[in-house]
Amino acid sequence: MDESIVLTELRGGTAWVTINRPAKLNALSSAVVATLRTTMQKLDADDAVRVIVITGAGTSFSVGYDIAEEVAAGISRAEDWHAQLSRNVDLSMAVWSSTKPTIAAVDGWCLAGACELAMACDLIVATERSRFGEPEIRFGSGPVTLLMPFLIGQKKTNELLLTGDVISAAEAERIGMINRVTAVEDLQRTVDGLASKIGLTPPVTLRLTKIALVRAYEAMGLRQAVHSNLDVAATLNSAYSPEKAEFGERVKTQGLREALNWRDSRYGKL
């Protein structure tokens, strides 16, 4: 496992976890997902860690799961998609159910599976230039970890997931998806300050409060909804559509950037 794709730095009682694929806009490859999962397990068990921060290297939090890797893998059967997507869900839910408070420090793109990863955190702080969304529907896919309905409500969730629209940090804050918007140069300072404030609380109090919060949402059906959606997502990813087929072919022959440009040109500017 290449640990350089995920970096961990302990600053006092705050662990900063950095997705380190800036050349790929921190796309969540299978290796990144596996390494993040292992990292979360280690940090959850480390008594020196009070708060966990997840961020991305460079100018993007993450553009989501590695589409080029998925296309190259040629997964087609629903059973195989279920196995693949289960690993992605396991990561998001490990972050969601962590007994340590978690903060997503977002700069730049925060899309698709990365948007789900950020939403799995307890708090999100983002820079003014950040953009959020789940545009998967535009190439025949859909959300993997269906957290959004529980976080921002039915109508805005429906709008974002059915259109694939991407929104600004200001709009994300307005609808309650994120907590704070900062200048780019203030992101780390703001998050460090927030983490330090949270870390002043006794660990047992933080842990039990986190457990109570997780149980409250799960009593509303969050975990059941996530796993119910997993079956739908696997079926959806294995389903054929002409648009999905053309998108996949363009990824193979023209590269991901051109395929995404073709996809979004059909909908107008993001």
pLDDT digits (tens, 9 = 90+) for 123-144: 999 999 999 999 999 888 889 9
| Long-range contact set of residues 207-211: C-beta below 8 Å, sequence gap at least 24 | 207/99, 207/100, 210/98, 210/99, 210/100, 210/101, 210/122, 211/99
Encoding tokens for residue 10? 């302990």
Is the model more confident about 264 or about 62?
Answer: 62
- Dihedral of the alpha carbons of 136, 270, 180, 187, in degrees to the nearest 10: 100
54 domain-assigned: yes
pLDDT digits (tens, 9 = 90+) for 20-54: 999 999 999 999 999 999 999 999 999 999 999 99
User: Count of domains in the chain?
Assistant: 1
**How far, CA to CA in Å, does 86 sit from each of 58, 91, 115, 133, 140?**
28, 9, 17, 21, 18
93 domain-assigned: yes
pTM: 0.94
Q: Which domain holds residue 28?
A: 3-265
CATH of the domain at 234: 3.90.226.10
Helices and strands (DSSP H and E) totals, the chain: 12, 9
Distance CA 258, CA 154 (A): 33
Distance of CA 250 to the CA centre of its chain: 25
270 domain-assigned: no
The residue type found at 224 is Q
